[in-house]
Amino acid sequence: MRNTEIFYWYEMADYLTTLLNHFTAPAWLEPVVVIENYLLKIYDCSRTIFKKVATGGFELLTVPIIQAKFIEQPEKVFLLEQWLYLNKDKEVAVIAQQLQADIEIYKSSWQTGNGEGAVSGSLADAVPSLAQLPAHALTEFDKFVVAYTADQTTDVSLILKKQFNDLTNGLKAVSTYSYPEINKAFNTILFYSLRFLELRMDNTGANHSKAKYLFQAESFPKEDVLQADYFEYMQPVMLRGKIKVEEMDVAGGRADVYFEYLSFNFCTEVKREFKDTSFDALKEKYLGQAKEYQNTSAKVGILLVLDLLPKPNGIGSFESNIKLEIVSTVKDPEPRGIVVIKVPANRITPSAIVL
């Protein structure tokens, strides 16, 4: 019983870590995924098993992070102040003085009147003189906010950025990828799929229980372990649409991980391979099935392969585990785009690697 208790404590710690990770990304705003599936369950555990009152449970860890997420409005006010400083345009200068006065009033009331930083109303409510800015100036300000926000996001590795850019450029050969709504949705799925690979290549089994299946063990993990890991990682990403596993009635079969939107869908086919994981072999063995799931919707998808070959010389580079396949046939000339991602498993520790 003691061992069981310790196990569940570790599970709780891992679950809470996952929740806190969601809070660092925009995906935490998805109520069904993060609030209902994670936050409420943590709170329920805090109230029942640990019998904590409303001010003494796990919210001591989560509430400050949630509060910090509600500072976007004052941030935009401060950004407006910075933008005015950088853009001393004569046309803007006419109302800049009043804008600055509005900003100072707003900052004073925010700093003294609302310690938690939650702000209601629009930016125009906070800075009334904003309405006097000409349309082109407002457009430039919006661009400034977007650029600033992009610069402040969590750093993405240069290698991942290059792979993403190379893949999206290659996908332009697929006609349905040019539809704006398909492009935006699939790019999100693609980015986080690459991020999933990056994390699983870096994670240790000791520090990340979810990565233990990627290291040598007495028996090979089945593909459903990778499927569950990928599904759980991707679930909070779905701010729009739904993500499902083992979805029936897709191309007359069952899709492993199914991304469903109102007017289109994508599939990630999950496989495991312990004989030949070269891209040529994977293409011959699995791409036909992955392609088939694209028959009636967007002609792009992902093939996720659990690579179980022995790895005495290491798992290879991030780039070596990714390839875009553009496929078509004489009877089906419409190009299909499938991003093949190999997740290295059956691994040994870096200290045991030989050249």
Interval 266-307: pLDDT, tens: 999 999 999 999 999 999 999 988 888 888 889 999 999 999
- Tell me the sheet residues that pair with 244: 258
Three-class HEC string of the chain: CHHHHHHHHHHHHHHHHHHHHHHCCHHHHCHHHHHHHHHHHHHHHHHHCCCCCCCCCCHHHHHHHHHHCCCHHHHHHHHHHHHHHHCCCHHHHHHHHHHHHHHHHHHHHHHHHCCCCCCCCCHHHHCHHHHHCCHHHHHHHHHHHHHHHHHHCCCCCHHHHHHHHHHHHHHHHCHHHHCHHHHHHHHHHHHHHHHHHHHHHHCCCCCCHHHHHHECCCCCCCHHHHHHHHHHHHHHHCCCCEEEEEEEEECCEEEEEEEECCCCEEEEEEEEECCCCCHHHHHHHHHHHHHHCCCCCCCEEEEEEEECCCCCCCCCCCHHHEEEEEECCCCCCCCEEEEEEEEECCECCHHHCCC
Q: Mean per-residue pLDDT for 142-152? A: 62
Question: Which pLDDT score is estimated for 226?
Answer: 93
Q: Mean per-residue pLDDT for 155-178? A: 90
Tell me the pLDDT band of 236, cut-offs 50, 70 and 90: confident
Question: Which pLDDT score is estimated for 235?
Answer: 85
pTM above 0.85, yes or no: no
Q: Mean per-residue pLDDT for 152-170? A: 82
Tokens 């007495």 belong to 218
Question: Which pLDDT score is estimated for 113?
Answer: 43
Q: Mean per-residue pLDDT for 319-333? A: 92
Which of 24-28, 160-164, 180-184, 320-324 has the highest mean predicted lDDT (pLDDT)?
Answer: 320-324
Q: Is the pLDDT of residue 10 over 80?
A: no
Q: Is the pLDDT of residue 89 over 50?
A: yes
Q: In what order do the strands lie in the sheet with 322-327?
A: 242-250, 253-260, 265-273, 300-307, 336-344, 322-327
Structure tokens given for 93: 């200068």
Tell me the pLDDT band of 26, cut-offs 50, 70 and 90: very low
Q: Rounded distance, CA 61 to CA 40, Å?
A: 14
Q: Rounded distance, CA 65 to CA 155, Å?
A: 19
Q: Rounded distance, CA 233 to CA 221, Å?
A: 18
Question: Which pLDDT score is estimated for 134?
Answer: 73
Question: Which pLDDT score is estimated for 115?
Answer: 39
Q: Which residue has the higher pLDDT, 139 or 182?
A: 182
Q: Is the pLDDT of residue 238 over 90?
A: no
Question: Which pLDDT score is estimated for 117?
Answer: 39
Percent of the chain residues past pLDDT 70, beyond the cut:
68
Which of 24-28, 35-39, 333-337 has the highest mean predicted lDDT (pLDDT)?
Answer: 333-337
Question: Which pLDDT score is estimated for 29?
Answer: 44
Structure tokens given for 58: 């796990």
Q: Is the pLDDT of residue 243 over 90?
A: no
Residues 6+ apart with CB under 8 A from 80: 99, 103, 123, 127, 130, 141
Structure tokens given for 336: 């299909």
Residues 6+ apart with CB under 8 A from 206: none
Q: Mean per-residue pLDDT for 227-255? A: 81
Q: Is the pLDDT of residue 27 over 50?
A: no
Q: How do residues 97-138 score in pLDDT, each as one tens digit?
A: 777 777 777 766 654 444 333 344 566 666 777 777 777 776
Whether 189 contacts 27, CB under 8 Å = no
Tell me the pLDDT band of 317, cut-offs 50, 70 and 90: very high
